[in-house]
Amino acid sequence: MPFYLHIKSFFFGAIATLSFEPFNVKFIIFLSYAYIMRSLFFDSKNDLKTKLIFWAAGHWAIGMSWTIVSIYYYGNAGFIVTLLLYFLLLCVLILIFSTPIFLYRFINSKNNIFKIFTIASVFLIIDFSKDYLLDGLPWILPGYIFTDTYLQYFYSIWGVAGFSFILYLVSAILAIYLHLNRIKFLTYTGLIILTTLPIYDPNIENGDIKISIIQPSSDPFLKYIENYYEEIENNIFELNAKISKDTELIVLPEAELPYVIQDYRFNLFKNILLTDIPLIGGAWSYKDGNFYNSLVNFHTLDEYNKQHLVLFGEYLPISDKIRDLVPFFRLPMSNISKGSNNQNLLTINDMNLATLICYDAVFANTVRKRVKSSNLIVNISNDTWFGGSIGPYQHLNIARIRSIENNKWTIRATNNGYSAIISNKGTIVSLSDKNSKQILEGHVQLIEDRTFYSLYGYILFYLISCILVLLAIYRKLKNA
């Protein structure tokens, strides 16, 4: 296989990232998947193997590029160690989430209709595995690209999984026409471009409950240096003094303080900070020999513990010897425990809060379960570790989708941006600046009504996909 085809495959895998935030050239992801699906349909097995590996390398290398920033700059790892860890991560992602696509060749059908639905089902089942394998990595799912289009309101019906399935179906159709009929390929591509054009809605919703978000923008490099906690505390005190007196809830971001809530310093800090206004925020908690990343009601000390931990950032899946490679891994906060799957909502006055910490918001089914009895979502996060990468934009976009899927307003509090107030329609009502120390204030609505997606989830599309794949296997075995 000529070398230029290796580069071409890598290129088509990499360009899919341009469909996500902050680029939003949405139609490109259809072309990316059409390229590899055409190979799955029509190429020889040897050519397909090479194309698939290089396509997957481009897809994951660019889509997960923010991990370089996290490991190198904020993990304080050396350049060589960063490259080694990044290469290891890419190899694992390609092996687990991309090479299984090759198995489609064993159930490939000559019937184009069946071919289209079967390959879409295979891709969707692999997406489903991203919720569980490697403790979950549902980051660059194709269904995320439809915000700010005329189609975004369908998130409340079929969620991200439904959109991903439809995208795979359309990409498969493009793949067939790319091979058989270039005129129809160009025609359908034009229709996709029109369908995914951005919309501008000048109507900004507003709520009736005033809330305040504190965005401290503390220096992550100094956070765990001795006595720097005093600067963090004074910074929060200063910002807290600027909060409007009529606000009904104050929200601090994820794990801003460098000590646990059982530490005497937390009591001192809390006693100075608290007023009659309810205040919740992130903090470390230490119980029964375990560290937790928690969201705490500062008045009652009720807490929610983070369920989904970030690989390398909050836990290590392999031997502790790797901790010697990167200084950050030797901090207690880089080896924390998971919270229970069944935790109570935090309730403040009329607000039943579905609390989510950082990476929790990426897991659609976790969010759906959390919001069942809630009327407002609170998502705290520390996006400092993304640095100047594309990560913060994508993380914010996922939070918007969770609001639409579940018909809930979201309060999103981050350490250094982007903090936001998001309506149940996914509209960003208020948005903080990046890397700024500020107070973000606005109003939210409490909504009890649930959407079709919130009631039934994404099980329908995965069930259909499993049935179609099993049917394809049965047909193959029968014909054999």
Indicate the domain borders of the chain.
3-200+458-479, 209-444
pLDDT > 60? residue 325: no
Helical (H) or strand (E) element with 230: helix 228-240
Instruction: Tell me the per-residue pLDDT of 163-195, one tens digit each, with 9 for 90 and over.
Output: 999 999 999 999 999 988 888 898 989 989 988
The pLDDT value recorded for residue 332 is 47
Question: pLDDT at residue 37 above 80?
Answer: yes
Please, which pLDDT band fits residue 312 given cuts at 50, 70 and 90?
A: low
The confidence score (pLDDT) of residue 197 equals 87
pLDDT given for residue 75 in this prediction:
65
Phi and psi torsions of 172, nearest 5°: -65, -40
Produce one character per residue of 112-123: b if its CB has 16 or more CB atoms within 10 Å, e if not.
Answer: eebbbbbbbbbb
Average pLDDT, the chain: 91
CA distances from 40 to 97, 113, 233, 424 (A): 16, 15, 57, 39
Of the given ranges (223-237, 263-277, 301-315, 342-356), which has the lowest mean pLDDT?
301-315
240 Cβ neighbours under 8 A, 6+ residues apart = 214, 250, 273
- Average pLDDT estimate for 465-474: 93
Strand order from edge to edge, sheet including 420-422: 346-348, 351-357, 376-381, 410-414, 420-422, 428-431
Q: Which two tokens stand for residue 156?
A: 């409340």
Q: Assess whether pLDDT exceeds 50 at residue 290.
A: yes
Residue 211 pLDDT > 90: yes
pLDDT 10s digits, 384-410? 888 889 999 999 999 999 999 999 999
Asked if residue 454 lies in contact with residue 368, where contact means CB atoms within 8 angstroms, the answer is yes
Position 232 pLDDT exceeds 50:
yes
Cβ atoms of 254 and 283 closer than 8 Å: no
Q: How confident is the model at residue 319 (pLDDT cuts 50, 70, 90)?
A: very low
pLDDT at 71: 77
Q: 77-115: per-residue pLDDT in tens?
A: 778 888 888 898 899 999 999 988 988 988 888 889 999
DSSP 188: H
Question: What are the tokens at 50?
Answer: 């090479």
- For 318-338, what is the mean pLDDT? 58
Distance CA 326, CA 76 (A): 7
- Contact status, residue 389 vs residue 401, Cβ threshold 8 Å: no
- At 76 the pLDDT is 66
Burial 225-264 (b: 16+ CB within 10 A, else e): eeeebeebbebbeebbeebeeebbbbbbbbbbbbbbbebe
Among 137, 138, 94, which residue's Cα sits nearest to residue 317?
137
- Nearest alpha carbon to residue 121 among 472, 469, 480, 479: 469
**In CATH, what number does 209-444 get?**
3.60.110.10
